[in-house]
Amino acid sequence: MDSQLWIISVLITSIILIVISIIKFKLHPFLALLLASFYVGALMKMPPLKMIAAIEDGIGSTLGFLAAVIGLGTILGKMMEISGAAERIGLTLQKCRWLSPQVIMVLVGLICGITLFVEVGVVLLIPLAFSIAKKTQTSLLMLAIPLCTALMAVHCIVPPHPAALFVTNALGADVGTVIVYGLGIGLLASLIGGPIFLKCINNKIPFKTVPEEFSDMKVRPEEELPSLGTTLFTILLPIVLMLLKTVAVFVMDKNCFSYSVLEFFGNPITAMFIGAFVAYYMLGIRRNMVMSILLFKTEECFSSIANILLIIGAGGAFNGILKNSGLSDGLAGIFSHLDMHPILLAWLVAIILHAAVGSATVAMMGATAIVSPMLPRYPDVSPEIITLAIGSGAIGCTIVTDSLFWLVKQYCGATLNEIFNYYTSATFIASLVALSGTFLLSYII
């Protein structure tokens, strides 16, 4: 009993240390996670050299796979940005008269969000919300909240987003399966958490116009944008390659040459590598961009991902310490005696960590380290389901600790109370819907 109390105390105090370091003392999450790693290692009485080795292995094993995918995905997202491909999707969906403006924003967020970090997606796509709000005389909140909720959903549960891909890889889940089910759950969660929730409280939502400081932000003329076919081909090519690999697992002999080919091209690194070069050509060179400009844009986008790489690397270090110190195995034994379903536990840990730390990425990595050791005790629950459960939890509780909360508030020109009432509520409802969808899927796969 004493050892169990000690393990729980070390875990809780390490999370509190991360929260206080980031919020109170304004430490960068990279430093806060490393500090927590040393803290756990010391309290679990790890030998100093073993502690350093665990941190090195954690960083190396995490970034060894993700660094290449994140870099290639950033190139793809940058080409979407500078070419106007994301705007093309939005303008095309606007022509579908049978879709409401709110549903259009959800679909734009889901499709474009596949290749964009959530904050980048908000900045890039918010002018589209401004444009539709002006044309339809709709409150900006009615458009921005569905857009941002969808961006958050796809960010947390659909690879090749870094956190979703990290959890998928760490738990040994199939990437293609997570993509398919993640998109389905993300769409359902975004529609209910966004348009349907807002429609239910429509009379209470204040009318918000485009804030004056953003009134000069415009969507580019349609003739300057790439075609819809080019845009969709570029965005979906890596996803299709990864899905083909998943299909091959079920229908082909694993010893045949064709399977080996599909396995190679369906690997996230290979798929994203091909996607990056296709984006260079389809969205750049074909549109009369010279290689010197593409080089400059590549260097520009690489400088922007240093922050996320450091955070993910430190998250890997923290995971390495939890595993090598024996804390993860101890937690697995404790959790196995709790009367709580592993899906609910995974969701609960992720949503609490997101609320506390303010980063969905850090929350998902921490939840993976805490939950993964107990999974062998539940062989009937697939790793794909736990991956979706962790991502579902990270969608929720977007509060003042999260920079996205303030970004949405600024662009909407809303009060703190309004963002709490509408955006925080939307993401929490989306998180609950995603959890419910994950439970339903658990009876299928």
Tens digits of residue pLDDT in 96-147 = 878 888 999 999 899 888 877 888 788 788 888 888 888 788 888 899 999 9
- pLDDT band at residue 336 using 50, 70 and 90 as cut-offs: low
* Domain count of the fold of the chain: 1
Domain extent for 98? 2-442
Say which residues have a Cβ less than 8 Å from residue 439's Cβ, sequence separation at least 6: 343
Nearest by Cα to 347 from 151, 193, 157: 157
- Given a cut of 90, whether residue 436 has pLDDT beyond it is yes
Check if the beta carbon of residue 217 is closer than 8 Å to that of residue 126. Answer: yes
Q: How many CB atoms lie within 10 A of CB 216?
A: 9
In angstroms, rounded to a whole number, what is the distance separating the alpha carbons of residues 372 and 90? 39
- Given a cut of 80, whether residue 65 has pLDDT beyond it is no
Total length of the chain: 445
Condensed to tens digits (0 to 9), the pLDDT of residues 389-423 reads 999 999 988 887 787 888 888 888 888 888 888 99
Q: What is the pLDDT of residue 217?
A: 64
The stretch 424-432 carries a mean pLDDT of 95
In angstroms, rounded to a whole number, what is the distance separating the alpha carbons of residues 282 and 279? 5
- Given a cut of 60, whether residue 1 has pLDDT beyond it is no
Q: What is the pLDDT of residue 2?
A: 60
For the chain, what is the mean pLDDT?
87
Tokens at 103, concatenated: 């549903």
Say which residues have a Cβ less than 8 Å from residue 318's Cβ, sequence separation at least 6: 33, 34, 36, 37, 40, 58, 365, 366, 369
User: Cis omega before residue 268 (within 30°)?
Assistant: no
Check if the beta carbon of residue 62 is closer than 8 Å to that of residue 166. Answer: yes
Check if the beta carbon of residue 426 is closer than 8 Å to that of residue 198. Answer: yes
In angstroms, rounded to a whole number, what is the distance separating the alpha carbons of residues 133 and 140? 6
